[in-house]
Structure 1
């Protein structure tokens, strides 16, 4: 309809949507809350005036015309939405579920080339869940399983496209990639095909545990009934976990809805006999022990391609939904050992223009080589906010790409440290590759992960926000210097060596993750 917006998000993905509206598409303005969390009348009046009666508002309306035209074109014949809709209708007409069911029944009856245990893997439809489950799939294949890997239609096509050189669709003798329209629960699939059901959690045990035990925390008066503390204070919520800021609880940004959803999810998962965690027992043994008294907890991480653990960086069996930029590896080959600052914020990291500028100036001031990943999907194909002349000034020591093969990057000897959003996959990969971290958590469980990295495992440093919620260029420069060029940084690297050794040993024969995995395999074989 082409109407510019004033953005006032409340919870969950609304904050993400607002960021796109204001900072990416530039079709609206943000309403700012005061210190008490209120948007005051004068703020509303001023922002309305900016949007409807100033040059800034005129520019926003011009941008909206462009996006309005895009929205209307996409549902016309040949537009992407029209095409997607027709693909969906065609799929429904062909009775996809019937065909999939018949295929699985044929396999279970022995009408296939070889008889072997068959596992159906269904990841949550997001990059951070798909990739580690694909690592589990390949691991099961190595132990004689045939895998059916089920994705949503959209992710299936993205994986095939992003991995077109790896011919993932034609691994029929090992892994069969199939897809369904989104919405079919795993429990229903298991019951439909009379197969065992196992849970697979891609975060720390601690993240699951605090959700599972939150009803008890409410009954003890440690949490309010809606799960959202009024005051932001440091609190020890579970005896075996480090203290957390109230605002760093994994459901905090999503409000009461996400709090209730987490409780329901944890209760359902607790009923499953085998709950596999892509984590390392030694990293959080106390929490794992506490939760094991309530349900079956089996840490089997790190689920990382064996070639990386064996020192071979040339091959990778990942399932990225974005295509890697391999030129950055050639660039890394030209850099000195432990000299490069690697900067990446995962598949959903979004920075506004002001924060992009501060980060760019901080990297420039550090006077060190850097590899910076800025996803083109997030930045609409361009990088907004870069200071004038920045690319020219850092041309001899900077490499900026839209997506990178992260394990190959982290395992490269030129990497000195990792500036990360502290998504669990990134943290675990960094530990397994022995790279210290600068922690910049954005939302969800990333704050818990960051707390462990900095205060428990002591393998990284925090990046501190100013009063406006920005990390300033000088903070970047100072933190980089502390981590790579001081005695404090040397001590952190020594700690990292210890955890790196633990991470690699736990998946070797006799290690706890290896033992847990073998127990699971034997149980599934019966």
Structure 2
């Protein structure tokens, strides 16, 4: 049988779309349902809007949840409203958008060929009737899910109009099965209103009327609990599937298949509701101090938390009761664990289950403040990196160092960076061990589809300054960052290139410390840009790039025009890059201090120059190794996380394991560098012709044009001595015994990672600090060769031979010596060790 006929006989599993409502509370049940379907062998696509997706990522370890299910995919579609920072608090606007805006976008998803296989069925939340219209058009069956209680569905189907607020103790008539039980007080608040134009009421009524159009109705309940009203609900939709409790059902399946339980936080506590004794700021209204009597009694017998996992708490043997808002998921979980309830409902009531314990009638006039006394809580640091892989990577290391010191840390990243982190890194699970760590997101102001690539970075900087500044101010003043177990932000640590953060910090009265994730030598060049212009060394015209630069103190005698950042070659003082970096010498000194990812033995003379502008320097690098040392002290099994924004190909480690010691040249040009097809081919020829073994990282987006025909000699040479991958775990690669050299773009993180492992470098810089770094690598530190401004296969071949063969011993000796200095500075009493201790002490005093 030929290949074609083999494929034709393969039977693919049914493909189901699961589409929860954008309103928060159905997400948990619908996610659990998606997992149950995957465990049964179905292909599942879970459809979310960006706003809900962002919140879901923020509070659920979604990477871990998805890992066991290769047949579960997320598909994000717009709800048609403005970007994620839109509050979506206007019920009328939001509900109307589902029908008018989300509907055509959902239709486009199903008809545009974006789905990877044919669709068999749609399972959607029962309050989105537009799904029926779309499904009818493409002739796909729909099963609805009603995530509220069955009794709520029955009541809402029978109460056709709001009944007003009077006579709340009067029994409700016309709801068969609940006569003599249900009072007007037990109805949802929207039913107890005189407002016939309430948009939420009208929307819900329409959805209930449309339910019979579904091919079936899924309920999160079971017969023993709600069986008495099943027959009445079947008059609405005859084909009922009572598969609850869904979460317990899922856990039983996972247990049976010996799969791990990936417990999620109850995200709706943060996203929409708030729980008593675990309430966010917005859920409490009233006076601002806790009465002493209440505070004392709570310390003796109580524990107040921001949020708790119902599944853990209710299953604990110490729990004997549950004061709950009566949300259906919580009720079902309490029933499963056999925990009696006291009900304080807020939205939809399910009182026919709980009327016997309806004991809360009196609402306290005094309200608990959301914040405990600040003197028992650690300082709270907000870290805000420049949204690029290098700075984010370094500042995650800093965040973990601060967490290890007992500080609370909120790490603020843009939505784009957050999405990439959750997709490719282990950041969520890594920081689970730090209860004081929180990941927070903010918009960078750019459209979702903006590439944010190296050649368009100025657009990102402009957007940050013009749009993000206001969002950052709003975040700091919203109260969102503090809670009863978390102080308000007491210190901001931000990338110094984002000078506007200092304006905001001063405005809200919070001390700020800047971080520069570039080298000190490059930062000093930026500080000296005004002096270069004043002396006439900038701008310059022509190609005399070896002309010495004389106006940068400490670099006289070895620094040339070609070693300046690339934008200095524009010959134009109005160049936007030059304008961006020109204020460095005035912006950075505004902060309380300046953190640098370097160490005194490496850049001591340049650091002395910078201190004339910024006296309070904290040189605490190399950060990645500093963190490793601290983690080793905490636990011998601790290893740093990956914060990569690309999928790492771990097969390269296996390949390295089979290579001789110090024989491999590692080649990587970072996360932003882009080369032409011609440059790509020159590098390939040079690497193969050098005769050295090489491991080459070629990002999918790193070559500007389509692939070309590969000469057979390149294919043969690569098969014999090379290995090409899309992205590598760089720290692990550079620490591998088989690696003897590094052909690098000279990004500062890469330079430090190579330096600490004693790996000599060949430098081919791309932009910004890399031109400066490459000159110091060759001329000052003697750690390798600078190959800037050339891309000839002949020169590449010769340079590789020099590093890996002809001058190998010379470079390795220098590299080993510098690696020794770097490690000494991290030990107790070393310069970086002491500076970190000083930084933490200063933060605690703020």
TM-score by length of structure 2 reads 0.48
Q: CA contact under 8 A between 2:740 and 2:760: conserved in structure 1? A: yes
Aligned to 1:340: 664
Distance 2:740 2:628 in 1: 18
Distance 2:506 2:699 in 1: 39
Distance 2:778 2:582 in 1: 27
- Pick the aligned partner of 1:209 from 520, 524, 532: 524
Distance 2:559 2:695 in 1: 31
Matched, 1:121 2:370: no
What's the secondary structure of 1:235's corresponding residue? Answer: coil
What's the secondary structure of 1:244's corresponding residue? Answer: coil
Aligned to 2:413: 151
Q: CA contact under 8 A between 2:674 and 2:704: conserved in structure 1? A: no
Aligned to 2:514: 199
- Pick the aligned partner of 2:821 from 499, 502, 507: 502
RMSD: 3.4
Distance 2:642 2:706 in 1: 26
Structure label with greater radius of gyration: 2
- Pick the aligned partner of 2:579 from 244, 260, 268: 260
Distance 1:204 1:239 in 2: 16
Aligned to 1:236: 550
Between structures 1 and 2, the one with greater helix share: 1
Distance 1:489 1:85 in 2: 59
Aligned to 1:304: 624
Aligned to 1:77: none
Aligned to 2:83: 89
Distance 1:362 1:249 in 2: 26
What's the secondary structure of 2:601's corresponding residue? Answer: helix
Distance 1:385 1:152 in 2: 39
TM-score by length of structure 1 reads 0.75
Question: Shift of residue 474 of structure 1?
Answer: 2.3
Aligned to 1:445: 769
| C-alpha distance after superposition, 1:386-433 (max 9, x if no partner) | 434633442132111111010000000100100011111111111011
Matched, 1:350 2:665: no
Q: Compared with structure 1, are the counterparts of its residues 394 and 90 closer, same or farther at alpha carbon in structure 2 (3 Å cutoff)?
A: closer
Q: 471-480 or 306-315, which moves further after superposition? A: 306-315
- Pick the aligned partner of 2:749 from 401, 421, 425: 425
- Pick the aligned partner of 1:187 from 491, 494, 502: 502
| C-alpha distance after superposition, 1:479-510 (max 9, x if no partner) | 12211222x33111111111111111112111
Matched, 1:397 2:704: no
Question: Shift of residue 265 of structure 1?
Answer: 3.7
Question: Shift of residue 172 of structure 1?
Answer: 6.2
- Pick the aligned partner of 1:284 from 603, 616, 634: 603
Q: CA contact under 8 A between 1:362 and 1:476: conserved in structure 2? A: yes
Distance 1:234 1:289 in 2: 22
What's the secondary structure of 2:641's corresponding residue? Answer: coil
Q: CA contact under 8 A between 2:426 and 2:641: conserved in structure 1? A: no
| C-alpha distance after superposition, 1:155-194 (max 9, x if no partner) | 0111011125863575661421110112134235535764
| C-alpha distance after superposition, 1:181-234 (max 9, x if no partner) | 121342355357643210000111221222223223433x2434xx44665322
Aligned to 1:517: 836
Q: Compared with structure 1, are the counterparts of its residues 87 and 341 closer, same or farther at alpha carbon in structure 2 (3 Å cutoff)?
A: farther
Q: Compared with structure 1, are the counterparts of its residues 97 and 222 closer, same or farther at alpha carbon in structure 2 (3 Å cutoff)?
A: farther
What's the secondary structure of 2:644's corresponding residue? Answer: coil
Distance 2:78 2:417 in 1: 13
| C-alpha distance after superposition, 1:335-362 (max 9, x if no partner) | 1110111000001121211111111111
Gaps of 5+ in 2: 1-73, 90-269, 275-279, 283-287, 289-304, 307-369, 445-467, 470-499
Distance 1:197 1:159 in 2: 25
Aligned to 1:408: 732
Matched, 1:482 2:798: no
Q: 511-520 or 131-140, which moves further after superposition? A: 511-520
Distance 2:529 2:271 in 1: 38
Compare relative contact order (CA 8 Å, sep 6+) and give the higher one, 1 or 2.
1
Question: Shift of residue 436 of structure 1?
Answer: 0.1
Distance 1:81 1:244 in 2: 51
Q: CA contact under 8 A between 1:360 and 1:386: conserved in structure 2? A: no
Matches within 5 A, 1:448-463: 448-463=772-787
Q: Compared with structure 1, are the counterparts of its residues 339 and 247 closer, same or farther at alpha carbon in structure 2 (3 Å cutoff)?
A: closer
Q: CA contact under 8 A between 2:502 and 2:590: conserved in structure 1? A: no
Aligned to 1:368: 692
What's the secondary structure of 1:89's corresponding residue? Answer: coil
Question: Shift of residue 440 of structure 1?
Answer: 1.0
What's the secondary structure of 1:342's corresponding residue? Answer: strand
What's the secondary structure of 1:418's corresponding residue? Answer: strand
Gaps of 5+ in 1: 1-79
Q: Compared with structure 1, are the counterparts of its residues 424 and 88 closer, same or farther at alpha carbon in structure 2 (3 Å cutoff)?
A: farther
Question: Shift of residue 462 of structure 1?
Answer: 2.3
What's the secondary structure of 2:441's corresponding residue? Answer: strand
- Pick the aligned partner of 2:424 from 155, 162, 167: 162
Question: Shift of residue 278 of structure 1?
Answer: 0.6
Q: 302-311 or 351-360, which moves further after superposition? A: 302-311
- Pick the aligned partner of 2:392 from 98, 121, 130: 130
Distance 1:209 1:307 in 2: 26
Distance 1:448 1:432 in 2: 19
Q: CA contact under 8 A between 2:665 and 2:743: conserved in structure 1? A: yes
Q: Compared with structure 1, are the counterparts of its residues 164 and 513 closer, same or farther at alpha carbon in structure 2 (3 Å cutoff)?
A: closer
Question: Shift of residue 264 of structure 1?
Answer: 2.0
Q: 161-170 or 129-138, which moves further after superposition? A: 161-170
Q: 206-215 or 240-249, which moves further after superposition? A: 240-249
